[in-house]
Chains A and B, each alone.
Chain A
Amino acid sequence: MNIAYSTELICFLILSAVIISGSLAVVLLQNIVYSAFLLGGVFMSVAGLYLLLNASFVAAAQILVYVGAVNVLILFAIMLVNKKEKLKPIEGLKNRKLISGGVCGGLLILLLRVSITTQWNIPGPTSIGEEATERIGEHLFTDYLLPFELASILLLMAMIGAIVLARRDVSIPTDYLNDMKNKKSLSDKKIPLLTENSLK
């Protein structure tokens, strides 16, 4: 048994176990903060799978974008809206979960059957190593130039849209503005460092 192949197999098994158990925990755990952190673990393991598939650039992009940006964004959203609220009970929730579980299990069985029974006529994994990054750059600036530019426009639109949607509409009353003009600045106001209650 070749040691490289067995190492690859062990890494693959560990990473896929982390991915499957982590994704189940993301969906099933009650505490959403735990599931957000476990989602970061799932993203990291997916990046590890990309490394096994000889794609170092995409693995780095996955870690930067997903773990560094998307996961942090989700954590911030959780902290902004984190309120313990009693969810209203809904009749037939158990039935709904069971039915959707059946549908998803059927979809899973279908996908597994297709992927196992198909005779994949493939040349096998080929690696071009570090040349992959150069190749991606060539693709992005030659035959995928239009999607690349569209992606930049999409990112700009998403950024502006997110700002517009999440901005709080603050309407400052005019007398408050006049007050602010009369006061010079906050540092001119006499703010006691210690209140009288704290001195006692």
Chain B
Amino acid sequence: MLSNPIGPVPLQAYLIVAAFLFCTGVWGLINSRNAVRVLMSIELMLNAVNINLMSFSSYIDGSIIRGQVFSIFVITVAAAEAAVGLAILLSLYRNRVTIDMESFNLLKW
């Protein structure tokens, strides 16, 4: 089913890889105590979404490639997110002198 040796790589294979990547990112996002690793998990999830967009763009929309344009926008937003997230992390570290996510409870009720 997955490794059909006659034709090209099926669409499902790309979707399965993206699903693995996304679930790994979600798990890391929930369970990381290091704040930098949380940002890395977010990047993993964004990459999974990009793989989905690109594979659908190539398999369904091969001549108009709207998916590629969309994934370029996702890459742009991810770069902005990483910059702002790491800046927030630095100022948090300066105030709290730790990067443990469990100690960032300033906005809790």
Contact = CB atoms under 8 A, between A and B. Distances in A.
Given A9-B5, A61-B75, A81-B93, A90 B26 contact: no
B76 to A, nearest CB: 5
Nearest to A29: B37
A58 B72 contact: yes
Given A9-B5, A136-B65, A162 B86 contact: yes
Interface string A74-105: 10111011010101101000001100110011
B76 A154 contact: yes
B19 A112 contact: yes
Interface string B10-36: 011111110111111111101111101
Contacts of B24: 20, 23-24, 26-27, 104
A140 interface: yes
Interface string B45-88: 00100110011011110111110110111011111111110111
Interface residues on A, range: 35 or more
Interface of B: 1, 3, 5-9, 11-17, 19-28, 30-34, 36-37, 39-41, 43-44, 47, 50-51, 54-55, 57-60, 62-66, 68-69, 71-73, 75-84, 86-91, 93-94, 98-100, 102-103
A135 interface: yes
A196 B50 CA distance: 61
A49 B17 contact: yes
B3 A70 contact: no
A67 to B, nearest CB: 11
Contact of A120 (B7, B11, B66, B72): B11
Given A12-B13, A78-B36, 6 more contacts: A23-B21, A26-B40, A27-B32, A74-B40, A104-B23, A154-B77
A77 B89 contact: yes
Interface in A1-24: 1-2, 5-6, 8-9, 12, 16, 19-20, 23-24
Nearest to B99: A81
Contacts of B91: 165-166
Contact of B82 (A53, A70, A116, A161): A70
B50 A1 contact: no
Nearest to A117: B12
